[in-house]
Amino acid sequence: NAGVTQTPKFQVLKTGQSMTLQCAQDMNHNSMYWYRQDPGMGLRLIYYSASEGTTDKGEVPNGYNVSRLNKREFSLRLESAAPSQTSVYFCASSFILAGDYSDEQYFGPGTRLTVT
Amino acid sequence: SQQGEEDPQALSIQEGENATMNCSYKTSINNLQWYRQNSGRGLVHLILIRSNEREKHSGRLRVTLDTSKKSSSLLITASRAADTASYFCATVAARSGAGSYQLTFGKGTKLSVIP
């Protein structure tokens, strides 16, 4: 099992460029998440997908879009990158049983994005 | 907004000593979790404690939860250099108006264990 994989590992963009961060999990999890981590800010939820076919906004969704392509894959798109989106992006997944919110999340290795 | 707040922000101890980190939160929770993050890596789940539990152990880890004070502590006993990492508490609480729950992370405690 690879767990949660993310591509690319590093990326440098110019302001206004677009890109898509890819995430895949092989644990048959139903829920997937995108976070950003900035120094001194902890992790902040951008978007999540509770199950295949559904997506919802998290704490900081502005400037991002997501696609839950299938049960395994959840992508994050920056349509017009801004320097404020310079961050480390983490994808995570979990298996949520109805009525049980243990929500132990498994994280990918992260994508380090710099927007100049 | 951050739900959990860890204290201290940074902690430096000698190998073999115990390390204690605290987490305070603001709203009622379903459960509280602790994660570890090694430098440059993703987070790894360590332990989960439910709101009706007061203490839980896993190897050298001991977690306590006091729901009346809305606080939790993580104790790492007999620390090792390999324990050097950032530690995050994360609370699972009801998502307002959505009928579901959300995991919210604190800002973390950076632990350095000196050999």
For residue range B55-113, list pLDDT tens digits in order: 999 999 999 999 999 999 999 999 999 999 999 999 988 776 555 778 889 999 999 99
What tens digit of pLDDT does each residue of B14-49 get? 999 999 999 999 989 989 999 999 998 999 999 999
Any CB–CB contact under 8 A between A42 and chain B? yes
Is the pLDDT reported for residue A78 higher than 60?
yes
Q: Is the pLDDT assigned to residue A72 strictly greater than 80? A: yes
For residue A109, the chain B residues in CB contact (below 8 A) are 41-42
**A32 interface with B at CB cutoff 8 Å:** no
By C-alpha distance, the chain A residue nearest B31 is: A102
CB contacts of A31 in chain B (<8 Å) are: none
Distance, in Å, from the CA atom of A33 to the CA atom of A18, rounded to the nearest integer, reads 20
